[in-house]
Amino acid sequence: MTTSLTVQLLCLILAAFFCDLPATHGALHVIQSDVVMQDQDGHWSLELRCGNFAFLDYPAFDMEWQVPSERTVIESRYKNGHFTLRLSAPVEGGNYTCRIPTNSCDAHCLQENGDLRQASLHVDDVEARLMLLEAQQAALEQDHDVIKDEHTQLRESNASLTTYVLDLEKRTKATLVSLSSRVSVIEPVIVLNNLTGHHIAFHATHLKNDTTPHSGHITMKLSNVLTNQGGCYNTSTGFFMTPFPGTYFFAATTGSYDPNRNADFALIVEGIIIAYSTTRNPGNVEGQVATAHGIVHLKHSQKVFIRAMSQNVDFFSEATSFSGFLLYPDPPNSTAIFPWPG
């Protein structure tokens, strides 16, 4: 056996037991990937791949790359049988050579300057830079499409919000007008009430627990009395009893949470309805309430209360209130409506 054959045999034995000898179908190959890579910082680069190796795990060596400027770059990125080298803009044109390091076990087992030892590829700098520009342009166009879609969505949302705000402003103005109208009515009443020297007023909220929500034709009793000047409202009976003849104002408000039941109620004076109201909660829309109110002349010890008016009713306790106050009393020895002198 010749010396040359002995050396080759020894290399094969060493490779089998000690070296990660690559299986590359007889030669290394360098290819320029068509994929343009972008790192986390937004930098675009071309990728060169050197292989194809048959290692299942990471090889026992890093790959040496010699770039056109004669610099040597050590690259450890390895995936799917290839070492990779990324070229950032501006790409340097010329030959790029990948080779297995001379100090690695695998290099000792390969012929010097053999096809298994190194491989080269020429990179055209103009073509490479054009590819980068095209990739960047494609990415910008994609970003533009995304921004355009977001702009369309924002414009639609803005239109919807504008409509909502305009509707809210309209409803707010209507509410302010209504409140202003009520204030203009109530303010003179308060003044007149103060002038008379008789302070009769009450305001109660929240239905009592013994008031059955779905039973009709019952007196609605309220448990939370916020104001009861004169002590004329009774939480046990739900009645306001007039202390003396005069002209009074009463108001009752309630609502329903059940879309299948109405909130039907009336203001009652000694069994006679003086005001009636009803409301329903369509589709569980919160805040659907109704108010019944009236101005009535009453005699001494007459009862005023609110009553549920049908069987299939539902009342929201927190939205229920009953209030009233004296506008002005009758003069002594009179049962007629007292016209306040003007």
Residue 336's pLDDT is what?
45
User: Total structural domains in the chain?
Assistant: 3
Q: Tell me, what CATH number does 28's domain have?
A: 2.60.40
Tokens standing for residue 63: 């790959």
Q: Which residue has the higher pLDDT, 125 or 267?
A: 267
Q: How far apart, in whole angstroms, are the C-alpha atoms of residue 302 and residue 340?
A: 22
Answer whether residue 130 is part of any domain: no
What Å distances lie between residue 64 and 40, 68, 70, 95, CA to CA?
A: 25, 13, 12, 14
pLDDT for the residue 340: 41
pLDDT at 135: 81
Give the pLDDT confidence of 78-114 residue by residue, as tens digits: 888 889 898 888 888 899 999 888 777 665 556 555 5
- Domain boundary, last residue among 170, 196, 222: 196
> Is position 131 within any domain?
no
Whether residue 119 is found in the same domain as residue 180: no
Residue 214 confidence (pLDDT): 56
- Is the residue at 239 inside a domain? yes
Q: Tell whether 221 and 243 lie within a shared domain.
A: yes
**Best mean pLDDT range from 174-183, 251-260, 269-278:** 269-278
In a domain, 29, yes or no: yes
Residue 40 lies in a domain: yes
Average pLDDT of span 246-273: 87
Which pTM does this prediction carry?
A: 0.41
Q: Is residue 177 part of a domain?
A: yes
Q: Which two tokens stand for residue 75?
A: 């690259």
Same domain membership, residue 274 and residue 216: yes
197 pLDDT band, cuts 50/70/90, is low
**How would you list the strands of the sheet with 303-308, edge to edge?**
240-241, 303-308, 265-269, 272-277
31 and 78 in one domain?
yes
211/247: higher pLDDT: 247
As given in the structure block, the two tokens for residue 141 are 């166009």
By mean pLDDT, which of 32-46, 236-250, 294-308 is the weakest? 32-46
Percentage with pLDDT > 70 across the chain: 76
Q: Could you report the per-residue pLDDT of 112-168, keeping only the tens digit for each?
A: 555 567 888 999 888 888 888 888 888 888 888 899 889 889 988 898 899 999 999
Give 228-236's long-range contacts (Cβ < 8 A, gap of 24+): 228/201, 228/202, 228/203, 228/204, 229/199, 229/200, 229/201, 229/202, 230/198, 230/199, 230/200, 230/201, 230/202, 232/200, 232/202, 233/202, 233/204, 233/322, 235/204, 235/208
Residues 172 and 206 occupy one common structural domain: no
Secondary structure (DSSP) of 68-89: TTS-EEEE--EETTEEEEEEES
Whether 192 and 203 map to the same domain: the answer is no
Give residue 238's pLDDT band: very low, low, confident or very high (50, 70, 90). Answer: very high
- Mean pLDDT is lowest, of 71-75, 308-312, 325-329, for 308-312
Q: Exposed/middle/buried for 117, CB within 10 Å: 0-12, 13-18, 19+? A: middle
Full residue range of the structural domain in which residue 242 is found: 197-329
Are 99 and 210 in a shared domain? no
Q: Are residues 10 and 40 in the same domain?
A: yes
